[in-house]
Amino acid sequence: MTDKFISIEGIAKRYDGARSTTIFENLWLGMARGEFVCVIGHSGCGKTTVLNILAGLDVPSEGAVIVDGQAIEGPSLDRAVIFQSHALLPWRTVLGNVAYAISSKWRRWDRAKVKAHALKYIELVGLAGSEHKRPSELSGGMKQRVGIARALSITPKIMLMDEPFSALDALTRGTLQDEVRRICVETGQTVFMITHDVDEAIYLADKIVLMTNGPGAVLAEIVENPLPKDRLRGDLHRHPLYYALRNHIIDFLVSRSKIFTAETPDHDPRKVPVVKIGRTEPTIVASKPVDSDAPQAVAR
Amino acid sequence: MTASLRLRAAVVSIVLLAVFLGAWHLATRSTGTAANMSPEYAKLMGMTATQGKSAMPGPLDVGAKLWEHLKRPFYDNGPNDKGLGIQLAFSLGRVMLGYLIAVAIAIPLGFLIGMSPLMSKALDPFIQIMKPISPLAWMPLALYTIKDSSLSAIFVIFICSVWPMLINTAFGVASVRKEWINVARTLEVGNVRRAFTVILPAAAPTILTGMRISIGIAWLVIVAAEMLVGGTGIGYFVWNEWNNLSITNVIIAILLIGVVGMVLDQILARVSRLVTFPE
């Protein structure tokens, strides 16, 4: 990909202390404009740290991140964050929360203009009619919708989502995933999202980045999503490559994420292999012998 | 059929009050002529000796006197005889002045301490030492430096009400949720706007709690301070009536101090409810 809209260039995060730990180092990743990238990895591998560095909320110990030709220096209105815990200001109404973001971006706008703009985005996420409610009166899913409206309302160049749906029940999560997908496809939004949910990644992402376990985590593979752009949630599992893709990711999470660094000593962090899932790829068979104890236990 | 909890509680309260007043009345009433003595001598001795009446006034005496006070709260017959309304107004004026100065200093300073770990650590030893000092211990120093008894009383109110507000403001500001700060940071909100739109509303309930504790302490201390400095105020009134041996007036003053303290506390409780947000 020649057009690198976002380029993570050799970033590292270390914590100095009595025993200094390296969460990750020499991390490279490029993202094109309009791309939806999901990062999957186990807890503690530094996914959230990468996202915070992208947001400008955290500073890398080494390296830099370049967005649209400019190195990141602190947080910016160009990069909106959707927080895992929605992070709404509880003393403001739905409208107040969205308007706060809008008036932060366009400081000269008068109240009426801010309100009209906010209402447009509140309607976009399906909360029309609830704009005068306070966050405490909303369900978890509705709160996260407000978070999405707040992020979208400032028309950012990138949306950064840190497990935005992990605290929601399955039904709400599904609906919100549909909404996010619809909005992102419509607006061509560039999205960097962290998730634990394999199906969420398959449904939403164009590329799925697999991260090994920390400390010393690396980006192991970038899996290209073979499913068509106009995929529907209900049809996902009927696609011939769906299970191959799903199994590949789950295999990685279950076993390969632990042993990847040891097994692949010549892994070049600057050229993370791009995996294209094909029908013939024997991904399931390849990693079977790894835990030879488990099948025996089942056999007895 | 059970009446609401509120109603039942009110009934119990009234019964307790009636029992208390009844016991009080019985304990202080006259028990008849105690000894035979000439009427002139009896007049000299007063009812305590002649009719066995306690020197402690009964509830009816206090009620009658209270009514008298309430009818004319603002009379002024010179320095030692002023209406209770005037005395209370003097006390409230001092409390308000000292308290407002304390608010004006404690809240900005609390913000500074809460936002700067350096200042927090640097000022902590001073606060820890100053906080437990009884406010009245400052009185001689205040009288010596300020050379004005009324201003010294205001200073004592200031020094006693500043600590709870300072500590609560610093704590409230320091414990604003990181994610709210991060929201402001990602929206590139400047420091001043962040302080007013995120930190202040987030810390407001904690700050108000500190203000409520402070007004309570200030009202406790003003009585003692006015007993020392004298001249005017409800504290002075109590001491003056003790010197007059008017226990009835002392009891009335005690009652009014309680009522005013309750009102002050309730006002801040109301304000506190306005800024509290459910999460």
pLDDT < 50 positions in chain B: none
pLDDT of residue B48: 64
pLDDT of residue A176: 87
* Strands laid side by side in the A21-31 sheet: A21-31, A6-15, A62-67, A70-71
Confidence at A234, pLDDT banded by 50, 70, 90: confident
* Strands laid side by side in the A274-276 sheet: A79-82, A158-162, A190-195, A36-40, A207-211, A219-224, A274-276
Q: How far is CA B132 from CA B107, B113, B160, in A?
A: 20, 19, 10
pLDDT of residue B47: 65
Give me the helices (H) in B29-83, please: 39-45, 47-50, 59-71
Cα A282 to its chain centre, rounded Å, is: 28
How many whole angstroms separate alpha carbon B20 and alpha carbon B127? Answer: 43
The DSSP symbol for B46 reads -
The domain B84-275 having CATH identifier 1.10.10.10: the answer here is: no
* pLDDT of A299 above 60: no
| Closest residue of chain A to B275, computed from CA coordinates | A91
**What tokens does B239 get?**
């001491």
pLDDT of residue A84: 86
What average pLDDT score do residues A215-240 get?
Answer: 86
pLDDT of residue A20: 80
Residues of A in contact with B182 (CB under 8 A): 57, 75, 81, 83, 87
pLDDT of residue A265: 79
Q: What are the residue boundaries of the structural domains of chain B, listed by start?
A: 84-275
Closest CA to A115 of A127, A129, A100, A99: A99
pLDDT of residue B33: 62
Report the Cα–Cα distance between both ends of chain B, in Å, rounded: 37
* pLDDT of A284 above 70: no
* pLDDT of A291 above 60: no
DSSP string across B204-217 = HHHHHHHHHHHHHH
How many whole angstroms separate alpha carbon B246 and alpha carbon B66? Answer: 13
**Predicted ipTM beyond 0.90:** no
Closest CA to A45 of A219, A171, A198, A179: A219
Q: ∠ CA A256-A261-A17 to the nearest 5 degrees?
A: 120
Residues of A in contact with B275 (CB under 8 A): 91
Q: Which of A119-123, A201-205, A216-220, B10-14 has the highest mean pLDDT?
A: B10-14
pLDDT digits (tens, 9 = 90+) for B147-184: 998 899 999 999 999 999 999 999 999 999 999 999 99
Q: How many residues does this entry show for chain A?
A: 300
Residue of B178, B185, B187, B191 for testing the chain A interface, max A β-carbons within 10 Å: B187
Residue of B180, B181, B183 for testing the chain A interface, max A β-carbons within 10 Å: B183
Closest CA to B267 of B108, B64, B96, B28: B96
What average pLDDT score do residues A176-186 get?
Answer: 87
CB spacing of A81 vs B186 below 8 angstroms: yes
| Closest residue of chain A to B180, computed from CA coordinates | A87
Distance from CA of A194 to the nearest CA of B (A): 17
Helix (H) or strand (E) holding A274: strand A274-276
Q: ∠ CA A247-A181-A24 to the nearest 5 degrees?
A: 55
* pLDDT of A136 above 70: yes
CB spacing of A75 vs B189 below 8 angstroms: no
Higher-confidence position of A168 and B236: B236
pLDDT of residue A295: 42
3 state DSSP class of B38: coil
Confidence at A300, pLDDT banded by 50, 70, 90: very low
pLDDT of residue B1: 54
The DSSP symbol for B82 reads B
As a whole number, the mean pLDDT across chain A is 85
pLDDT of residue A108: 93
Q: B197 touching A, CB under 8 A?
A: yes
Q: ∠ CA A146-A149-A153 to the nearest 5 degrees?
A: 145
Q: B121 touching A, CB under 8 A?
A: no
Of B179, B185, B201, the CB nearest to A75: B185
pLDDT of residue A117: 94
Compute the CA torsion angle A273, A274, A279, A283 (nearest 10 deg).
Answer: 40
Within 10 angstroms of residue B38's Cβ, the number of other Cβ atoms is 8
CB spacing of A134 vs B278 below 8 angstroms: yes
**Portion of chain A with pLDDT greater than 70, in percent:** 92
How many whole angstroms separate alpha carbon B218 and alpha carbon A257? Answer: 63
Of B179, B188, B277, the CB nearest to A87: B179
